[in-house]
Chains A and B, each alone.
Chain A
Amino acid sequence: MMKNRQASANSPGPHDLGHRRPAPHTAASQHSSGGEPTASPVVEVRDLRVTRGGKEILHGLDLSLTPGSVTGLLGPSGCGKTTLMRTLVGVQRYRGSVSVLGSRPGSPAVRARVSYMAQGLAVYRDLTGRQNISYFARIAGERARNVEEVVADVGLGDVIDRPVSSYSGGEASRVNLACALVANPELLVMDEPTVGLDPVTREELWRTFRAMAEGGTTILVSSHVMDEAFRCDQVLLMREGRFLATTTAAELLTQTGKPTVDAAFLAIITGTDTLTKAAS
């Protein structure tokens, strides 16, 4: 099983983050020289620093994501979750070493294979849901999924041919998500995809994410809903531009002795540092 570790800025040593198998990993996404190919990380980040407006927001993050894993990024507002995600999809300048699917993030080679769903509603409200999804399908070209199938996946029914401006918050948010899913990405980065959605829809979406992960898609998803941590293979707890811990929801509860992920998270950030002790 995965070890828990206090992840700190500039932490040297091996990156156990995201590795569910004990294979030693080589640098950025090459197959190991040995006979059998090991799963090279889809995302490999070392000492990532981002400065915006003269202020450092990310203080030397290390991260690696294995293929087909679902990773939850949890932390309070303003801790740098969105900045980290924007860096991985290539729209944020950074310092440090970042490799996404073996290339620089946002380089032409990987843009077709990565999808990003931002937290805000980044769709064309004057167009219909179908027009929006079809547009992103056309951009994706040959690798795009069938539009109807994606519409069914996100549970958009009758409204699909009405302008997005007439949608409810939840419906609009599903279009937003569908535009990311339709590109059939190898890496799917989602910033709060389930915010504002009812529990039934959330359940359905998580089933979709899980099915995609089983099909080999690597998923990084941020959330405020701490309970969603249980749906992830690994959880990154983030605070003020640093990873506090890399763990799973179950281990988090065991090691903090708290009944809920919320309470466990609070326990960690308020300095009840049981994780460090447990790990050492």
Chain B
Amino acid sequence: MTPRTYLAATARILAQLRADRRTVALIVAVPSVLLTLLYFIYTDLPGAGPLFDRIAVSMIAILPMTTLFLVTSVAMLRERVSGTLERLWTTPTHRADVLFGYATAFVCTALVQSLVLCSVAVWGLEVTVTAGWGWVLLLALVTGFVGVCLGLLVSAFARSEFQAVQFMPVVIAPQLFLCGLLVPRESMPRPLEVVGDALPMSWAVDAVTQVATETDVSAGFVHRVGFLLAFGLVALTVAALTVPRRTR
């Protein structure tokens, strides 16, 4: 990996995103629209205020990971199917240049997405957060990063867009079920609780719930953010090492 080829790949992917405004608009808008939908689902339910607050805060951890997972896995697949990935393998471009380039470019969109999502939540939907919105924003960005890395890792194993899309229920749905949003993890059967505790989406939901309900940022929050970043980096590194350069 060299700075030149990495930056060239990043700039190229950003240029592709700029050329595809509709996709960017969808990435940025969809989580906010979904959160607004949830707001109206709960709005007439008596005493649902705290419940919606809890769900909304969890969604700020869940939605960026989900949308960016899907978008990056398909984007990387498109690169492979179009033949440009193989062409890059014949140039000085390293595998890490492409994968970290994708991660960088899509984290930029994740930043915009998180800003919009948090703004909608705080000003539009009046979600209350005790420790400050800056921490929630940081967490939304970090879960977006994890989604990007997981998407890139999965696309290393998928051969077609169909397969890539199929990975979404496989990778995202169990995390969603086990993260504690539907049933608190302590109330699940012990094996499920253990598995749930080990999944990145659970760390994200725990962390964001913590800053939403507690006044101070605890060491637990910092650790969870650290774990999420480390998880993303490991997924990205594994992806960079496993993407095959040569056809058998």
Residues of A within 8 A of B (CB): 52, 86, 89-93, 106, 108, 111-112, 114-116, 118, 120-127, 131, 135-136, 138-141, 163, 179, 183
Kindly provide the distance from the CB of A231 to the nearest chain B CB, expressed in whole angstroms.
24
Given A89-B90, A140-B92: A122 touches B15 (CB 8 Å cut-off)? no
Contact size range, B: 20 to 34
Which among B81-89, B174-182, B214-222 touches the partner chain? B81-89
Kindly provide the distance from the CB of B247 to the nearest chain A CB, expressed in whole angstroms.
5
B12 contact set on A, CB distance < 8 A: 124, 127, 131, 135
Task: Tell me which of A91, A118, A125, A138 contacts B247 (CB under 8 A).
Answer: A91
Residues of B within 8 A of A (CB): 4-5, 7-8, 11-12, 15-16, 19-20, 82-84, 86-93, 245-248
Total inter-chain residue pairs, C-beta < 8 Å: 83
Task: Tell me which of A91, A126, A179 contacts B16 (CB under 8 A).
Answer: A126
Having A91-B86, A118-B86, A122-B84, one finds 15 other A-B pairs with CB under 8 Å, namely A86-B247, A90-B246, A92-B247, A108-B92, A116-B87, A118-B87, A122-B82, A125-B82, A126-B16, A127-B15, A131-B12, A138-B4, A138-B5, A139-B8, A141-B4
Q: Shortest 4 CB-CB distances between A and B: which pairs?
A: A122-B83, A138-B8, A122-B87, A116-B90
User: Is A126 touching B4 in the complex (CB atoms < 8 A)?
Assistant: no
A163 contact set on B, CB distance < 8 A: 19
Given A138-B4, A140-B92: A122 touches B246 (CB 8 Å cut-off)? no
Q: Which residue of A lies closest to B23 (CB)?
A: A126
Task: Tell me which of A91, A112, A121 contacts B245 (CB under 8 A).
Answer: A91
Kindly provide the distance from the CB of A39 to the nearest chain B CB, expressed in whole angstroms.
24
Task: Tell me which of B15, B19, B20, B245 contacts A106 (CB under 8 A).
Answer: B245
Task: Tell me which of B84, B91, B246 contacts A183 (CB under 8 A).
Answer: B91
Given A126-B20, A131-B12: A139 touches B91 (CB 8 Å cut-off)? yes
Most buried by B among A52, A122, A179: A122
User: Is B91 touching A90 in the complex (CB atoms < 8 A)?
Assistant: no
User: Is B89 touching A106 in the complex (CB atoms < 8 A)?
Assistant: yes
A229 to B247, CA, bound (A): 30
A131 contact set on B, CB distance < 8 A: 12, 15
Kindly provide the distance from the CB of A191 to the nearest chain B CB, expressed in whole angstroms.
11
User: Is A93 touching B246 in the complex (CB atoms < 8 A)?
Assistant: yes
Q: Which residue of A lies closest to B89 (CB)?
A: A91
Kindly provide the distance from the CB of A98 to the nearest chain B CB, expressed in whole angstroms.
12
Sample 30 A-B pairs with CB under 8 A, ordered by A number.
A52-B248, A86-B247, A90-B90, A90-B245, A91-B245, A91-B246, A92-B247, A106-B90, A111-B90, A111-B91, A114-B90, A116-B87, A118-B86, A118-B87, A120-B83, A121-B83, A122-B82, A122-B83, A122-B84, A124-B12, A124-B82, A125-B82, A126-B19, A127-B12, A127-B16, A127-B19, A139-B91, A139-B92, A163-B19, A183-B91
Kindly provide the distance from the CB of A126 to the nearest chain B CB, expressed in whole angstroms.
5
User: Is B86 touching A139 in the complex (CB atoms < 8 A)?
Assistant: no
Q: Which residue of B lies closest to A136 (CB)?
A: B91
User: Is A93 touching B91 in the complex (CB atoms < 8 A)?
Assistant: no
User: Is A122 touching B86 in the complex (CB atoms < 8 A)?
Assistant: yes
B4 contact set on A, CB distance < 8 A: 138-139, 141
B83 contact set on A, CB distance < 8 A: 118, 120-122
